[in-house]
Each structure stands twice: as C-alpha cells, then as structure tokens.
Structure 1
Amino acid sequence: MTRKKVKLDFITNDSARKATYKKRKNGLLKKVNELSTLCGIDACAIIYSPYETHPEVWPNTLGVQRVIARFQRMPEMEQIRKNLNQESFIKERITKTNEQLRKQYKNNRKKEITELMYQCLTGRGLEDLNVVDLNDLGWMLDQNTKEIYRKVESIKKRAPEQKAAPPLALQVPPPTPRPTNGGGC
C-alpha cells in the first residue's frame, strides 16, 4: 500500500510535531547509517533540537569530529565545489527550465510548419501567411529537399554494389540423355 503525499507545513500541534520529529530523526539516522555501511564512506549527522539540551550526533562525538576534520583539511575549492545555496540552486533550475522551454518551443514550431506544409500540399494558399511563417516554411522545404537528396545519393551509392554482385541463384545443370540399348526391353 502506498503512502499518501505529506503536506509539508509546520505542524501546529505540539505533541504531533514532537512525535513526527522523533520518527523523522530516527529515519534520518537510519539512512545515514545505511549510506555509511553500504557505500563504505565516512558520514555523520548532527541534529539540534528544541526538545533536547545537547545536539544529537551520529555515530558518536569522536566520529563526527573525525569527519569534520577531514572535510576541513580539503582544499577550499573542493569543499565548495558541490555546495549549493538556495539562490544558486534556483538559478540553475531556471536555466535548465528555460533551456527545456526553448527546445519545446523549437519542436512545436517545427511541427506547426510541418502541418502548414502539408496543408499547402492539400490546396491551402499562401496568401494569409506572414513573413515569419513564409521564411520558416521555406527553411523547412530546404531541409526536406536536402534530406531527399541525401537519401537519393545513398541509394545511388548502394545501387552499383547491388549490380556488381548478382543475386545468388541455384544453377541446375541440364538433364543428360540416357543411353538406350537398341533392342527393346
């Protein structure tokens, strides 16, 4: 049975919030433990809570200090290489989304012009088209014409190869006449 999607809002009920905190904290610590065990990496977790006076650390204080010291010994460029703050994350997402939008716009325009081309083939006139549509239609026709020429050249190159090697045919020798003895049976 699948779980329903959780609404991510602040839980106003204190007891429900505390119960959710404990469950989520235990789940998070379990995941960090699994990640460390399965991938053989050093990992740690530090959780500050309003319900406890001291932060909770995993695996232990010494392990956390070891991981943090190892991180701090890394060159600064390595430390910040994959760090994202919210602003850079959103800028990256906006850039990716804009690129997807440009690709989709281009794809849609190509489909519109292709449909326009087919309508012209069925008798629609070009009088009501604007300059942009006519230019795009001309470009599409040029691209299709080039593709047709490429395919024709490809077929022409394959044609001599097919003529040079005749298809294999089973050749049966003509029947040889049987000798007959002159006298009958």
Structure 2
Amino acid sequence: MARKKVALRYIRNDSARQNTLKKRSKNLMKKAGEVATLCNAKACVLVYGEGGTVPEVFPSHAEAVAILNRFKSMPEVARLKKTMDQESVLTQRVAKLRDQVQKTRCERQDRETKFLLHDAMVSGRLPGNIEELTTMGWKLELMLKSLGKRIAKMSR
C-alpha cells in the first residue's frame, strides 16, 4: 500500500516534531548503513536535533571523525569533482527539457507531414500553402531515399 504524500512544512506540535525527527533520523541512519554496505563506500551521518547538545552520529563518533578528516584532507579539486550547485543542476534540467521540446516538435511536424501526404494521396489534391508543399516534398525525398536504400539492401 502506498504512503500518502507528506507536506514539507514546519511541524508546530513539539512532541510530534521530536517524534518525527527521531523516526526520520533512525531511517536515515539505516539507509546510510545500507548504502555503505551495498556500495562498499565510507559514509557518515550527523544529525543535530533541535536544542540537542550532542548530535546523533552514524556509524560511530570515531569512524565519523576519521571519514570527515579524510574528506577534508583531500585536495579541493577532487573533493568538488562531482558536486554541483543549484544553478548548474537547473541549467542541465533546462537543457534536457529544451531537447525534449525540440524532439516533440520534430515528431509533431513529421506526423503532420505524413498526414498531409496521406490526405494528398487519398483526395488527389495538393495543399495550397507553399510551406506545406515544401515540407511534403522534403518528406517525399526522404521516403524515396529510404526506400531506395531498402531495395538496394534487399537486392544484395
């Protein structure tokens, strides 16, 4: 059974907030342990609770200190190799969405051209718009080239 979506907002009730933090930090620690085991990677988690003086640490305080010191001792280039800021993430997403829009436009134009070709073949009349005629001619040339390649391939 799927869980319902939780609204991400501040929990006003103190006991409910503390209870939620406790549960989520426990699950976070468990997931960090699973990732470390499955990927054979070093991982540590520090969770600072509201008003708490000592953070919850995974896997242990000494191991977390060793992992963090190792991370800090790495050269900055290696440390920041795969990190991304918000701007670069959004730039990548925008570029990907632009590619998808362009692909969808091409597919739509291809469908419209095929529809025009089909309509011209069935009715026997050509569209009066010069742009549509040019597009149909271009599509016909592509189809004829493709058919020529298929025939040549099959005749071999």
What's the TM-score once normalised by structure 1's chain length? 0.76
Distance (whole Å) between structure 2 residues aligned to residue 12 and residue 148 of structure 1: 69
Q: Does 1:117 align with 2:94?
A: no
**Kept in 1: contact 2:113–2:139 (CA 8 A):** yes
State the Cα deviation string for residues 119-152 of structure 1 (Å, max 9, x = none): 1111263343242x32222111110000111122
Aligned: 1:9 with 2:9 = yes
Structure 2 residues without counterparts, runs of 5 or longer:
none
Cross-structure match for 2:37: 37
Aligned pair in 2 of structure 1 residues 127, 118: CA closer, same or farther (>3 Å)?
A: closer
In structure 1, C-alpha distance between the alignment counterparts of 2:22 and 2:61, rounded to whole Å: 20
Shift of the alpha carbon at 1:9? 2.6
Identity within the alignment, %: 33
Equivalences for residues 5-154 of structure 1 within 5 A: 5-123=5-123, 125-131=125-131, 133-154=132-153
Distance 1:135 1:111 in 2: 15
Moved >4 Å (runs of 4+): none
**Alpha-carbon spacing, 1:140–1:66, altered in 2? closer, same or farther (3 Å):** same
Which one has more relative contact order, counting CA pairs under 8 Å at least 6 apart?
A: 2
Cα distance in 2 between the residues matched to 1:140 and 1:106? 12
Unaligned runs of at least 5 residues, structure 1: 158-185
Match of 1:172 in 2: none
Instruction: Report the Cα distance in structure 1 between the residues aligned to 2:47 and 2:128, rounded to whole angstroms.
Output: 67
* CA distance in structure 2 between the aligned counterparts of 1:136 and 1:12, rounded to whole angstroms: 62
Instruction: Give 1:25 shift.
Output: 0.6
Give the CA deviation at 1:44. Answer: 0.4
Q: Partners in 2 of 1:4 and 1:57 — Cα distance? A: 29
After TM superposition, the structure 1 stretch with the greater mean CA deviation from structure 2, 45-54 or 135-144, is: 45-54
Q: Which amino acid aligns with 1:15?
A: S
* 1:29–1:123 CA distance, 2 compared to 1 (3 A): same
**Offset, 1:34:** 1.7
Is contact 2:71–2:79 with CA below 8 Å preserved after alignment? yes
Match for 2:62: what amino acid? Answer: L
The CA deviation string for residues 103-124 of structure 1, in whole angstroms up to 9 with x for no partner, is 1111111111111111111126
